[in-house]
Chain A
Amino acid sequence: MSSRVLQAKVDAREAFRDLVENTHSRVYRVALALLQSPHEAEEVVQETFVRAWEAFHELRDPSATTSWLLKIAGNLARDKRRLWRRRSNEPFDEATIEPLRSLLSPEGTIESPDEAVLRKQRADSLRRAVEGLKESHRVVIVLREIEEMTYEEIASALSIPVGTVESRLHRAREKLAKKLRRLVEREKTP
């Protein structure tokens, strides 16, 4: 094999390796947000990059490549999810609501023996509240707020226009605020 041929082969593989390294965590987070299963999210990542390698010669523009990957991952995850659906319907107990009360109290932090523990409790309770939202709202909140994706990335992952991301996000935030308000205003059960 001539050295130029070998070099071209190495270059293509290295370019693909860079692509995988730079994008796999975003692909994973999209899949995880949609599937809520780390194992299945990994399968989606795998399949997404098999397809990316198949089509690698067509993927030139790096920014278009990322949205292409997120779209593929989103489609694969949605196909998987059609088989089953999970929505957290567990009732909230006082132990879950109390951290939310302290988080949302206008006075700010109520007595905090351990700030880190309290932050963790609040985060867990908040996550649970988000998980109780309807699917389309849950997904945009997770992708935007926790996974820190741009509107454009979310639009690619969900195959929806950016305008729809915007309106879905505002409705999701409204629903979440309502839900949290209802929870923290609930009478304390002894």
Chain B
Amino acid sequence: MKCKEAKVAFSQHLDGRLGNIELERLDDHVHSCASCEEDFRIMEVSSRALRSLEPTPAPPYLAERAFRVALSSKRAARFSGQFVFVARRTAIAAALAAMGLWIGGGLTTGLRETEPRMTPVEADPVEVAIYIWTPGGILDD
């Protein structure tokens, strides 16, 4: 192992990303190269010192604020508005198709069945989607 390769390997080692065989080769090099030995000592000490620092804490109010701003942002509202428009159109189309099927089903099954095949659903998936994507509601209720 040469110095250049050893430096890459040592950095990987600091992050626990070096396999046993490579670690042995690195060890051999370090014991025979004073320059690398000193460099690695400094790298290790400084790395340990940096890691002993606490990760920067986010301000305590940030999560709640980011959540509220996201849900009430005008852009999200505009996006949602487009979604609702498309969804309503789809819902109307779906409703018409369902009625057609229901009537059609009723006609074809005639008197053989006492109940229509298609019963109205409690919550239309499209309607659910509209509510999910309408900002403001729950939070500001």
A contact residues vs B (CB 8 Å cutoff): 1-2, 4-6, 8-10, 12-13, 16-17, 20-21, 24-25, 28-29, 32, 38, 42, 45-46, 48-50, 52-54, 57, 103-104, 106, 119, 122-123, 126-127, 130, 141, 144-148, 151, 166-167, 169-170, 173-174, 176-178, 180-181
Residues of B near A181 (CB, < 8 A) are 38-39, 42
Contact with A along B52-78 (1 / 0, CB 8 A): 110111110011011101110101100
Residues of A near B67 (CB, < 8 A) are 16-17, 20-21, 49
Residues of A near B38 (CB, < 8 A) are 181
Task: Verify if B115 is at the interface (C-beta below 8 Å from A).
Answer: no
Q: Known interface pairs A45-B62, A50-B70. Does A173 touch B14 (Cβ–Cβ under 8 Å)? A: yes
* Nearest CB of chain A from residue B104's CB, rounded to whole Å: 27
Bound CA–CA A181/B38 (angstroms): 9
B8 and chain A: residue at smallest CB distance: A170
Residues of A near B17 (CB, < 8 A) are 151, 166
Bound CA–CA A120/B111 (angstroms): 87
Task: Verify if B101 is at the interface (C-beta below 8 Å from A).
Answer: no
Q: Do B11 and A24 touch across chains, with their CB atoms under 8 A apart?
A: no
Task: Verify if B128 is at the interface (C-beta below 8 Å from A).
Answer: yes
Residues of A near B7 (CB, < 8 A) are 170, 174
Q: Could you list 7 examples of A-B contacts with CB < 8 Å? A: A8-B131, A21-B63, A25-B62, A28-B59, A104-B42, A177-B39, A177-B43
Q: Do B137 and A9 touch across chains, with their CB atoms under 8 A apart?
A: yes
Bound CA–CA A42/B60 (angstroms): 12
B contact residues vs A (CB 8 Å cutoff): 7-8, 10-12, 14-15, 17, 38-39, 41-43, 45-47, 49-53, 55-59, 62-63, 65-67, 69-71, 73, 75-76, 79, 122-123, 127-128, 131-135, 137-139
Q: Do B50 and A126 touch across chains, with their CB atoms under 8 A apart?
A: yes
| Secondary structure type dominating chain B contacts | helix
Q: Do A5 and B63 touch across chains, with their CB atoms under 8 A apart?
A: no
Q: Known interface pairs A29-B55, A29-B56. Does A16 touch B70 (Cβ–Cβ under 8 Å)? A: yes
Residues of B near A21 (CB, < 8 A) are 63, 67
One of B15, B71, B138 near A144 (C-beta < 8 A): B15
**Residue from the set B12, B45, B71, B127 with the largest chain A CB neighbour count within 10 Å:** B45
* Nearest CB of chain A from residue B114's CB, rounded to whole Å: 27
One of B11, B131, B139 near A6 (C-beta < 8 A): B131
Q: Known interface pairs A10-B138, A103-B45. Does A174 touch B50 (Cβ–Cβ under 8 Å)? A: no
Q: Do A49 and B66 touch across chains, with their CB atoms under 8 A apart?
A: yes
Q: Do A5 and B123 touch across chains, with their CB atoms under 8 A apart?
A: yes
Q: Do A180 and B66 touch across chains, with their CB atoms under 8 A apart?
A: no
Q: Do A4 and B55 touch across chains, with their CB atoms under 8 A apart?
A: no
Q: Do B58 and A53 touch across chains, with their CB atoms under 8 A apart?
A: no
Residues of A near B128 (CB, < 8 A) are 4-5, 8-9
* Nearest CB of chain B from residue A86's CB, rounded to whole Å: 17
